[in-house]
Amino acid sequence: MSNHSRARIPFAVLLAAVAACDAVPPNAPSFLSDRATAMSVASLGRPVSFLTAHQQAQFKRGRVVFTTDFTPETGLGPLFNSTGCAECHEDPVVGATGDEVEVHATAYHPSGQPACSDLSDVGGPVVQQHVTQALHDALGIDAEPLPEGFTATAHRTSPSILGFGLLDAVPEAEIQGFADAQARGHDGVSGRPNRTPDGRLGRFGRKAQSPTLSEFTAGAFIQEMGITSPSFPTELTVAGKPLPAGVDPARDPELSQDDLDAADAFVRFLDAPTPLAFAIGQLPGRKIFSRIGCAECHIPALTTGPNPVQAFNNKIVPGFTDLLLHDMGPDLADICLGEAEPAEFRTEPLMGLRFVTAFLHDGRAATIDEAIRLHAGEATAARDRFLALSDGERGVLLKFLGKL
Ligand code: HEC
Ligand code: HEC
């Protein structure tokens, strides 16, 4: 579960720590850069601008739901990964990253129709790592067993979701446009969207398996905490076997539609983190990023287009992603999910990269530098250009990335 001690560090100490370890631009007057840093930390976890009074109220109420620690009496489990959303999305503010690592499992049979099964009828793709005392007493298990028939398992670190409502508001046509542009290029980059069985473009989750933020949020309540809601009114099975009688005292649905809507609003309205340091100081690093081809996939700015919600109307999203799947080579490959093959991953958004402490989908890379070195497949050419940079240029690029 979560590292509670970190969540309790007083805000002032956190500010001082960030100010101390954040490299101050060499020529900037120190009072200016300190203030800029403090302001950018203080602004984290806030809602996007231009919300109506009703939307602001929804955001506040949703934050309460998101930070609720559920118990078996209020619906937790019987199978679960953690007790609340904010146990895993908490660092350095509610909605950012966490140190929990999940286990997923699916079955991939390349000649099958379809090739990928998420094994949802036998307990996949999320394999819950905790059970309530009642389920433990009934079955003698401490975690959900792996689903029968799986061909691969995967580890997934808990990502930051700050600014993901903006990503949700990017029109499908824009994302498809990125794929079309890449198909015309000659750099070996050829992303494609994941698609749901009913043809919608996927964008959330490391495999871009989920088409909308609302669906991901509703799914997270049942998959992560075992909380039923009007969207998912029945409890999870234990690897496909029905729950023994009497292990689930709370009445279904355990979350009301109002609370689900509020949680959805909270997640959706969380603003994107503003990069640290002045934009002008970031310019040389950003230029190298584009020059060596990182920006082919990590598209720095997406746009939301016209949107009836004022807060999302024609906004720029500093996402550093194309939300497309890319073949990243055999070493990173793990599970399939939807149309995503084992080696395909969604370009990880780099907004909020400064909160990440273990990089890539399973946290295998300890540094940003190592994460880039592990890029392969479609990203081979960009990686090789990164390796060919002078030490000085590589340092400028890494500094830029470390402030996103
Ligand atoms: C046990 C830890 C854990 C809990 C609890 C948890 N999450 Fe997550 N969350 C994760 C992990 C791990 C992923 C990455 C999943 C993947 O890659 O497919 C994730 C991904 C997400 C994403 C998509 C991010 C992306 O990169 O596309 C959203 C949105 C999200 N979570 C919201 C929530 C909400 C809302 C709740 C509470 C209802 C919640 N999470 C509870 C661990 C957790
Ligand atoms: C072909 C598309 C593509 C290109 C080109 C590319 N990346 Fe990535 N990048 C990805 C994908 C996909 C992931 C997620 C891989 C994973 O999780 O295993 C990723 C992950 C990352 C991560 C880890 C993020 C995290 O939160 O763990 C960093 C950092 C990164 N890329 C930086 C770069 C840099 C710098 C370059 C240029 C040298 C670059 N990338 C080029 C597709 C690309």
pLDDT band at 22 (very low <50, low <70, confident <90, very high): very low
Contacts of 40 (CB under 8 A, 6+ apart): 273, 274, 275, 276
Residues in contact with 310: Cβ distance below 8 Å, sequence separation at least 6, in sequence order: 50, 51, 52
pLDDT number for residue 39: 56
Residue 236 pLDDT > 80? yes
Q: Ligand 1 centroid to 90 CA: how many Å?
A: 11
| C-alpha 164, offset from chain centre | 8
Contact (Cβ atoms closer than 8 angstroms) between residue 297 and residue 324: yes
Give the model confidence (pLDDT) of 352-390 as tens digits. Answer: 999 999 999 999 999 999 999 999 999 999 999 999 999
Q: Is the pLDDT of residue 4 over 50?
A: no
- Report which of 391, 189, 377 is spatially closest to residue 298, judged by C-alpha positions: 189
Assess whether the C-beta atom of 161 lies below 6 angstroms from ligand 1.
Answer: yes
Confidence tier at 178 by pLDDT (50, 70, 90): very high
pLDDT higher than 70, residue 125: yes
Does ligand 1 lie within 6 Å of residue 217's CB atom? yes
Give yes or no for residue 383 CB within 6 A of ligand 1. no
* Beta carbons within 10 angstroms of residue 169's beta carbon: 22
State the amino acid at position 142 in one-letter form.
D
- Rounded Cα distance between 338 and 215, Å, is 15
Ligand minimally distant from the alpha carbon of residue 386: 2
- State yes or no: pLDDT of 400 exceeds 80: yes
Q: Tell me the CA–centroid distance for residue 368 and ligand 2, in Å.
A: 9
Is it the case that residue 17 has pLDDT exceeding 50? no
Looking at residue 282, its pLDDT comes to 87
- The confidence score (pLDDT) of residue 121 equals 96
Which tokens go with 173?
């046509």
Ligand 1 centroid to Cα of residue 85, in Å, is: 8
> At 176, is the pLDDT very low, low, confident or very high (cuts 50, 70, 90)?
very high
Task: Please give the pLDDT value at position 37.
Answer: 53
Give the max Cα distance, the chain: 68
Task: Write out the two tokens for 322.
Answer: 């194309």
Verify whether ligand 1 is closer than 6 Å to residue 33 (CB atom). Answer: no
- Rounded to the nearest angstrom, the distance between the alpha carbon of 297 and the centre of ligand 2 is 8
Distance, CA of 78 to CA of 81 (rounded, Å) = 10
The per-residue pLDDT for 25 is: 36
CA distances for 299 relative to 227, 269, 322, angstroms? 36, 22, 6
Closest residue (by CA) to atom 37 of ligand 2? 294
Quote the percentage of the chain above a pLDDT of 70. Answer: 90
Given the CA of residue 167, which atom of ligand 1 is nearest to it? 27
Which residue from 216, 232, 351 has its CB within 8 A of the most atoms of ligand 1, so it is best to mutate? 216
Percent of the chain scoring above 90 in pLDDT: 87
Q: Is the pLDDT of residue 15 over 70?
A: no
Residue 18 is encoded by which pair of tokens?
């960030």
- Cα–Cα distance between 179 and 221 in angstroms, integer? 32
Residue among 298, 325, 353 to mutate when testing ligand 2 (max atoms within 8 A of CB): 298
Mean pLDDT in the chain?
91
Asked whether 208 lines ligand 1 (CB < 6 A), one says no
Instruction: Give the Cα separation of 367 and 353 in Å (integer).
Output: 11
pLDDT tier at 3 (50, 70, 90 boundaries)?
very low
pLDDT of amino acid 280? 77
In this predicted structure, the answer to whether residue 68 has a pLDDT above a threshold of 70 is: yes
